[in-house]
Amino acid sequence: MAITHAAKKAVRKTKRQTIANLKKGRKLKSLLKEVGNLISLKKTEEAKKLLPQVYKVLDKAVKANLIKKNKASRKKSRITKAILKLAKK
């Protein structure tokens, strides 16, 4: 149990940050899943429309230290590559 004022404040802050990070994580996961489903259903146009949102969420997740920079880059690259591969067909 936190005793000092600063420790109590840190506990409150951690709770707020945990909730915010969980929200961001859920949004990221659902968006990636949605794009993956669109790609598997061969809906290229809808997937292309979601691409800027995916980039934005991935960049924000990196900024919040939810994922590492290289993981975000890898995800962006693979999603874009998959969409472009569909578009060529």
Predicted confidence band of residue 17 (pLDDT cuts 50, 70, 90): very high
pLDDT at 60: 94
At 87 the pLDDT is 86
Residue 14 maps to a domain: no
pLDDT of 67 > 90? The answer is: yes
Average pLDDT over the chain reads 94
CATH code: domain of residue 32: 1.20.58.110
Residue 15 pLDDT > 80: yes
Distances (CA, A) of 19 to 2, 15, 24, 50: 20, 6, 9, 25
Q: Phi and psi dihedrals of 32, rounded to 5?
A: -65, -40
Q: In 10 A of CB 39, how many CB atoms?
A: 17
Q: Which residues of 51-72 are buried (b: 16+ CB within 10 A; e: fewer)?
A: eeebeebbeebbeeebbeeeeb
This prediction's pTM:
0.84
Query: What pLDDT score was predicted for residue 88?
Result: 85
Query: Is 8 part of a structural domain of the chain?
Result: no
Domain that holds residue 64: 27-88
